[in-house]
Amino acid sequence: MTNITYVEASGQATTVSLPDGWNLMQGAIANGIEGILGECGGSCACATCHCYVDEARLGDLPPPSENELDMLANVAAERRPNSRLACQIKASPLLEGLMLQLPETQE
């Protein structure tokens, strides 16, 4: 299990334990985290699981695929250097304690 903290746009922080291998969008949806829609079900086709990864931890993640970069071009909120799609990040021991900030809007 990997502990991930989601910080909603309101500032509400929620830490959840996710099974290794789950993507962070699945974890948010399963735990009722406000601010992640995941309309495509995690197939990297909608950008409604946009999040901002703690910049100090970006090196712990694999680089985004071309498809993810294409989807990030369509996010509703401001795209930042630390923008990622939560459906493309899988929980693993390396990500223990990762913090994700959620944008004000996904649509």
- The answer to whether residue 106 is domain-embedded is no
- The answer to whether residue 56 is domain-embedded is yes
**Is the predicted pLDDT of residue 3 greater than 90, yes or no?**
yes
Put the strands of the sheet holding 13-18 in their side by side order: 13-18, 2-7, 98-101, 50-53, 83-85
- The answer to whether residue 48 is domain-embedded is yes
pTM across the whole model: 0.94
Q: What pLDDT score does 68 carry?
A: 97
As a whole number, mean pLDDT of residues 24-34 equals: 95
The CB density around residue 20, as the number of other CB atoms within 10 Å, is: 12
With helix as H, strand as E and coil as C, how does 31-85 read? Answer: CCCCCCCCCCCCCCCCCCCEEEECHHHHHHCCCCCHHHHHHHCCCCCCCCCCEEE
- pLDDT band of residue 107 (cuts 50, 70, 90) is confident
Q: How far apart are CA 70 and CA 45, in angstroms?
A: 9
**Is the predicted pLDDT of residue 27 greater than 90, yes or no?**
yes
Q: What pLDDT score does 85 carry?
A: 97
- Number of separate domains in the chain: 1
* Phi then psi dihedrals of residue 66, to 5 deg: -60, -40
Q: What is the CATH number of the domain that holds 65?
A: 3.10.20.30
- 79: containing domain: 2-101
- The answer to whether residue 107 is domain-embedded is no
pLDDT in tens, 50-106: 999 999 999 999 999 999 999 999 999 999 999 999 999 999 999 999 999 999 999
